[in-house]
Amino acid sequence: MSEVVANVTRVVWPFACILLGFVCVQALLFMRNALKFNRKHNLYSKEELREIGKISSVATIGPSLSVVVVVIAMINLVGPAVTWMRTGVIGAADYELWLANVVTDALGVELGGQGFTEGVFVCCIFGMILGSAPYMLNLIFSLKPMDKLATKQATKKHSFLPILGMTAELGFMGYWGLNTATDSVANTAGIFAGLGTSLLISWIIQKTGAEKLGDWVLGIALIGGMAAATIVDTLVA
């Protein structure tokens, strides 16, 4: 970490703590409101909520590992405070690095290189923060109408909302899978390995009746896919 980054980091630390504090409070309030909404409309049973909690916890393994890899490089370039502040809010470390590079390219310098002054670094921070503004605006204009729609549909016997959520997720995952698979042989191997691992674990559950293993299918598939992609990438390189 350079002296320029260290100087700015000392100033950023208090603001990073305040911002991450808001994120933690927001998460707690969101969880409280979600549980309150569920109790009111009886969407999920207690057993289903426990199952959702287990699956969600396992589902964070893959994305967290991928973020950690980029964060290691990001700390060296923009310091721990900015890294913690940005990845703690957005979670897309590679997107944050891309925004910082856009700013430095516009100013005619290299990120962390010659001419990377404290003023340039501050501009990079503003660039990373403003880069997430479209997401915030989208939430302001779309979150409340979607919340009203969910409340209205919850009172109906046959609701299209669960189908809408499922089809949107399948469409996103399908697009992401095809787009990622075509990037490299390693990506293709990782996707197919993850799929094969999921099918294998599902087959084991059917044969052995180990239902609790189902909570770990996603996590095991993510690790299997990443391992296969790493091996193939090493062999191809």
Model confidence pLDDT, tens digit, residues 154-194: 666 666 666 776 787 788 778 777 777 777 888 888 888 98
Most confidently modeled range among 14-28, 52-66, 138-152: 14-28
Please report, rounded to a whole number, the percentage of residues in the chain having pLDDT higher than 70.
89
The per-residue pLDDT for 77 is: 83
pTM: 0.59
The per-residue pLDDT for 134 is: 79
Answer for the pair 107, 123: CB distance below 8 angstroms, yes or no.
yes
Q: How far is CA 58 from CA 28, 42, 63, 96, 116, in A?
A: 19, 25, 10, 25, 40
- Give start and end residues of each alpha helix (H) in the chain: 3-41, 46-59, 61-89, 93-107, 118-131, 133-154, 161-181, 185-208, 217-236
- Asked if pLDDT for residue 66 goes beyond 90, the answer is no
The per-residue pLDDT for 32 is: 92
The per-residue pLDDT for 61 is: 67
The per-residue pLDDT for 29 is: 93
Q: pLDDT tens digits, residue range 127-155? A: 888 887 777 777 778 777 777 777 776 66
The per-residue pLDDT for 123 is: 93
Of 101, 104, 132, 131, give the one whose Cα is nearest residue 120: 104
Rounded CA separation 91/173 (Å): 18
Which of the two residues, 63 and 207, has the higher pLDDT score?
207
At 62, the pLDDT band (50, 70, 90 cuts) reads: low
Contacts of 150 (CB under 8 A, 6+ apart): 161
Which of the two residues, 201 and 165, has the higher pLDDT score?
201
The per-residue pLDDT for 99 is: 87
Please report, rounded to a whole number, the percentage of residues in the chain having pLDDT higher than 90.
11
The per-residue pLDDT for 155 is: 66
**79-93, 104-118, 142-156: segment of lowest average pLDDT:** 142-156
**Looking at residues 83-95, what average pLDDT do you find?**
78
Which of the two residues, 213 and 91, has the higher pLDDT score?
213
